[in-house]
Amino acid sequence: MKQVKQTINTMLMFAMVAGMTTFNACKEDEKKDESLPPIGGYNSADEVASTSLVAKWSFDENYNESKGNLTGVNNGGSLVNGKKGKAYQGASGAYVAYNDAGASLPALKSFTTSFWFKTEKHDGGAQSVFMLSKDSAFWGNFFFLIEGRPLTDSMFCKVHFEKNDAPAWKEQWIEFNGSNMLPGAHGKWNHVAFSYDAATSKFAMYLNGNKMTLPAGMTDRYGDDPSTGGAPLGNLNFKDAKKFVIGGFQNNLGAPWSAPEPWMLNYTGALDEMRIYNKALADADVKALYDLENAGR
């Protein structure tokens, strides 16, 4: 009996030592985290403009969006090691469908969209990274496309967003072509962010935390030609924005749209830490967001 008690006491002592070791290790980790210097005034990317963040996709465990609780149905994509945790990996014909776009995305008046992406050059059409739908219309309300350019290291891409109380010819297309293409944007992780500010009617594009220098014709968004006294575009006004898709066009979602046309390609690269805010972030906040996520924070 005495030997049994000694054995139990020894086991209890080992358990206590192991517990204290684990506790001390956790406390050391906490001290380490607390000792990290802020970046741009923030300790993590989630702190950047946190009250204005309306949609976030981390892809760490699934394809769901975490701010508006949008449920994603995966169609042929996968989860792979990403820039921060896991990432969505697209493929030919693959996309994630969100059959309910929620309330925040259709209500955007201004926005900032940011994400990390890693993709190779392609040819034959345009790959859609994301699209907010528009019922019974050829184009969605809001989307980002990568055009095929197999012979250049720079990326030709397009941003589109609509103000649906304006004439159709006032649709907002911003094309990054020619000298304005995104340099060195293939074959490695890059961070892109772009924004529209309804108060100033300004559009901005950022690559890896740095604001791109663009001509006035790309940054100034007017409802009418400013040379003839035109007014700023003002608040966006999306219409019939009921669904959302990552890695494809609204045509991938079925009726009321026709089947995808041959040039409508699914995004075949990787996508990580996608965020949408309901305001145009300050330049410093975009830089902080890039730096924090680049540091895994």
Q: Is the peptide bond before 256 cis (omega within 30 degrees of 0)?
A: yes
Does any domain span residue 44?
no
Does any domain span residue 64?
yes
Same domain, 171 and 68: yes
Does any domain span residue 143?
yes
Same domain, 150 and 101: yes
pTM comes to: 0.87
Same domain, 96 and 240: yes
Q: How far is CA 238 from each of CA 15, 104, 105, 165, 250, rounded to the nearest angstrom?
A: 60, 11, 9, 9, 15
Q: So what's the pLDDT on residue 228?
A: 65
CA distance 110 to 102: 17
Does any domain span residue 42?
no
Q: Give the three-state DSSP class for 214.
A: coil
Q: How far is CA 31 from each of CA 25, 200, 212, rounded to the nearest angstrom?
A: 10, 43, 38
Judge whether 84 and 293 are in contact, CB under 8 Å: yes
Number of domains the chain contains: 2
Q: So what's the pLDDT on residue 136?
A: 84
Same domain, 69 and 102: yes
CA distance 124 to 181: 18
DSSP character at residue 258: P
Same domain, 23 and 131: no
Same domain, 65 and 123: yes
Q: So what's the pLDDT on residue 222?
A: 85
DSSP letters for 69-81: -PPPEEES-EEEE
Same domain, 70 and 119: yes
Does any domain span residue 152?
yes
Q: What angle do CA 86, 92, 94 make, to 5 degrees?
A: 55
Does any domain span residue 41?
no
Residue range(s) defining the domain that contains residue 6: 1-35
Mean pLDDT by 10 residues, the chain (297 residues): 45 43 41 69 97 98 97 98 97 98 98 98 96 94 94 92 74 92 95 97 97 94 72 92 98 95 98 98 98 96
Judge whether 91 and 77 are in contact, CB under 8 Å: yes
Same domain, 21 and 137: no
In the chain, the amino acid numbered 127 is Q
CA distance 47 to 78: 28
Q: So what's the pLDDT on residue 7?
A: 44
Does any domain span residue 62?
yes
101: domain CATH number? Answer: 2.60.120.200
Same domain, 22 and 133: no
CA distance 67 to 57: 9
Same domain, 176 and 30: no
Does any domain span residue 40?
no
